Amino acid sequence: MGLPLTEEAIASHNAPRHEALADEYDSLGRALARRGVDIAAVKAKVAGFSVALPSWGSGVGGTRFAKFPIPGEPTDIHEKLEDCAVVQQLSRATPRVSPHFPWDFVDDYDGLRQEAAALGLGFDAVNSNTFQDQPGQPRSYRHGSLTSTDAGVRAQAVEHNIECIEIGRKLGSQALTVWVGDGTNFPGQQSLGASLDRYLDSAASIYAALPGDWRMLLEHKMFEPAFYSTVISDWGSSILAAQELGPKAQCLVDLGHHAPNVNIEQIVARLHRFGKLGGFHFNDSKYGDDDLDSGSINPHQLFLVFNELVEAELNPRQGFDPAYMIDQSHNVTDPIESMLSSAEAILGAYAKALLVDREALTAAQQANDVMMGFQALRQAYRTDVTPILAMARAEAGGAIDAITAYRASGWRERKAQQRKPVGLGAGIV
Ligand SMILES: [Mn+2]
């Protein structure tokens, strides 16, 4: 099995676009040079940046109410890998896939690793799932998993996480992301204190099973599925748990998992200060969800988050190596197109953050020159960096205009003829 798209197809997409791109890139290069910025250095940083794709992101998502499948969407991990490979071929920014278990269970993980490698992909953090019951599962997570009052349920949830680590080792992963939906819908339903104790106890058992070079990423989420209280609801709970567990435990920030209007860039800076920023999940939201495409609603927030990430890169604390992943639900688009568009939004925010004149920013801050501090960020934010992204992609063998190239490839239409249809039903992501 070769790569999904041919090199020739991408090259013939790029050929008629090269001249205009070179013109725009050179023009931007001159403008940046006047600001003392070397465009080639920015392009090199962009080319070195990557974000993982979630295996489940290649399927059409859903809401709590319904899912509307499209013809040709993937139905198993093998087909999901193929679609992720399409995204990688065109974007050159998404070389790893983050698998999710049990959704991606297979019999032969060495084989799966080889299959991914043949598609130009590796594996990123492994995600466990104790937020839903599986067919034949002995005990139910109805009343919680790692925090259940039933020791047998907790043991089952711990065991599942350890199994995920074992699978991840075979796949070449080095991190386990743990998110639990455990929480309550009623005051009085559970002890807020005792359920956190049980979480810490269960998480310590998982932590003890981590290989030496692995990390455990604790993902917090304010609400949903629990709507009154969630055990790991915020970055405070998350960092306290990570500090109690030990150095291999770090916090994972998902853009959509906070109260509306929370200053997420400040959370990034805080976690980094204490060496606990382990990962970031990209998406966007308008209200309280975590489902919309990265940068589609509030690209400025994405830029401000990246501004802190670049600050962190420049002032690294021990262990700063965040696992970046796209984590959104594609309900009304072709997931491949959403992932291409999101990868571009994420790289664009990163590129803009790289353009910030850090010297001017620091000088303005030091002098309490409020307006010039703001302008240092604003000047970078309003720069159109698309020629940098497109040039980096093209030089790496990707497409100058990824979505147009994808549509021209006829990939989805071809898969609609070959793949079995997806069933209807509620689709959680
Ligand atoms: Mn997430």
DSSP annotation of 251: E
- Cα gap 235→253, rounded to integer Å: 8
**In 3D, which of 354, 311, 308 has the Cα closest to residue 32?**
354
Q: 281 CA to middle of ligand 1, Å?
A: 5
**pLDDT computed for residue 67 by the predictor:** 87
Strand partners, 219: 252
- Cα gap 57→59, rounded to integer Å: 5
- Cα gap 161→205, rounded to integer Å: 10
Q: 219 CA to middle of ligand 1, Å?
A: 7
How many residues can be counted in the chain?
Answer: 429
- DSSP symbols for 344-400: HHHHHHHHHHHTS-HHHHHHHHHTT-HHHHHHHHHHHHTS--HHHHHHHHHHTT--S
**pLDDT computed for residue 293 by the predictor:** 97
User: Would you give the distance in Å from CA 9 to the centre of its chain?
Assistant: 28
Q: 258 CA to middle of ligand 1, Å?
A: 11
Q: 343 CA to middle of ligand 1, Å?
A: 16
Q: 108 CA to middle of ligand 1, Å?
A: 27
**pLDDT computed for residue 425 by the predictor:** 59
Q: 176 CA to middle of ligand 1, Å?
A: 13
Provide the residue-wise pLDDT of the chain in tens; the chain has 429 residues.
689 999 999 999 999 999 999 999 999 999 999 999 999 999 999 999 999 999 999 999 888 788 899 999 999 999 999 999 999 999 999 999 999 999 999 999 999 999 999 999 999 999 999 999 999 999 999 999 999 999 999 999 999 999 999 999 999 999 999 999 999 999 999 999 999 999 999 999 999 999 999 999 999 999 999 999 999 999 999 999 999 999 999 999 999 999 999 999 999 999 999 999 999 999 999 999 999 999 999 999 999 999 999 999 999 888 789 999 999 999 999 999 999 999 999 999 999 999 999 999 999 999 999 999 999 999 999 999 999 999 999 999 999 999 999 999 999 999 999 999 887 655 555
- Cα gap 98→56, rounded to integer Å: 9
Q: 84 CA to middle of ligand 1, Å?
A: 18
Check if the beta carbon of residue 306 is closer than 8 Å to that of residue 372: no
Residues in Cβ contact with 225 at an 8 Å cutoff, skipping those fewer than 6 apart: 131, 181, 183
Q: 72 CA to middle of ligand 1, Å?
A: 25
- Cα gap 280→69, rounded to integer Å: 28
**In 3D, which of 255, 256, 257 has the Cα closest to residue 237?**
257
Between CA 346 and CA 256, with CA 265 as vertex, the angle to 5 degrees is: 65
Q: 56 CA to middle of ligand 1, Å?
A: 12
Q: 280 CA to middle of ligand 1, Å?
A: 8
Signed CA dihedral, 143, 144, 149, 155: sign only: positive
Q: Interhelix angle for 335-354 vs 39-47, to 10°? A: 140
Protein residues placing their CB within 5 Å of the ion ligand 1: 254, 281, 327
- Cα gap 102→106, rounded to integer Å: 9
**pLDDT computed for residue 185 by the predictor:** 98
- Cα gap 160→69, rounded to integer Å: 29
**In 3D, which of 95, 119, 103 has the Cα closest to residue 59?**
103
Check if the beta carbon of residue 236 is closer than 8 Å to that of residue 276: no
- DSSP symbols for 213-230: T-EEEEEP-SSSS-SSEE
Residues in Cβ contact with 140 at an 8 Å cutoff, skipping those fewer than 6 apart: 133, 153
**pLDDT computed for residue 422 by the predictor:** 82
